[in-house]
Every structure is written in C-alpha cells, then in structure tokens.
Amino acid sequence: MNNIEQYKNMSLKSLKENLLKNENFSKEYFDRKNMALAVAEMVRNERMKNGLTQRDLAKLLNTKQSSIARLERGSSSPSLSFLEKIAGVLKVKLVPPQFVSISKKTGGKINLVNKIKIEARV
C-alpha cells in the first residue's frame, strides 16, 4: 500500500493525528498555528482598545461577525489585503513580518510571535 492509499479512508481527525507524528509536518503546522494565534491576539486586542464588538468590526469591514470570530480564534488565515483593511478601520499601522534566518546553533527554533507587530498610528 503506498502512502496516499493509507490515508484515503481515514477521518480528518485521524489524518491530522497521523500527520502530526511526522516531525517536519508537525513543526510547520505549529509554526503556522503560532503565527495565526499571534495575529488573532493582536486583532482582538486592537478591536477591544477601540471599544468595538466583533459585530461592530465586521460591519465596518463589510463582512460577517463569524469571519471576525474565526480570525480571533486563529482558525482562519486572513489575506494581507484583509489585514490592511482591519488596520485601517482600527487606525493602526500594519508592520510587515520579518524574515529571520534560522541557524543550526539555535536548533532551528525561533519565536515567530515576536516578529509580527501592529503599531498605533500617531
């Protein structure tokens, strides 16, 4: 049985569990998840600083409240243009993430959460 065949009849939950056993897949998955959660936290914090509910923000962005909820849970990956719209509505500046080289000295570990930030416009 080849690799693809073994996954065909598997539930999504089982597939995810099996894939997460692979070290390379697991690292990539959690790096992306950490990034999504960092963005989610920043959007939520800025929304709350502006005294907006998820529904208020959604209305200003011409989207649904459920879209904002998914973003704030970290379960969706917003496009750059959507993040720019959010930044505009919240009156903050979106600062591009940095590319950081990963060296073998650090064991390939880097904290991506600290590499993304939103700065308030002055």
pLDDT average, residue stretch 28-38 = 76
Alpha carbons within 13 angstroms on the beta-carbon side of residue 48 total 7
pLDDT average, residue stretch 71-85 = 91
pLDDT digits (tens, 9 = 90+) for 81-114: 999 999 999 999 988 777 766 665 555 554 444 4
Look up the CATH number of the domain holding residue 92.
1.10.260.40
Domain range enclosing 109: 20-120
Residue 46 lies inside a defined structural domain of this protein: yes
Number of domains in the chain: 1
Is the pLDDT score of 76 beyond 90?
no
Q: What percent of the chain has pLDDT over 70?
A: 75
Residue 33 lies inside a defined structural domain of this protein: yes
pLDDT for 31 equals 72
Residue 89 lies inside a defined structural domain of this protein: yes
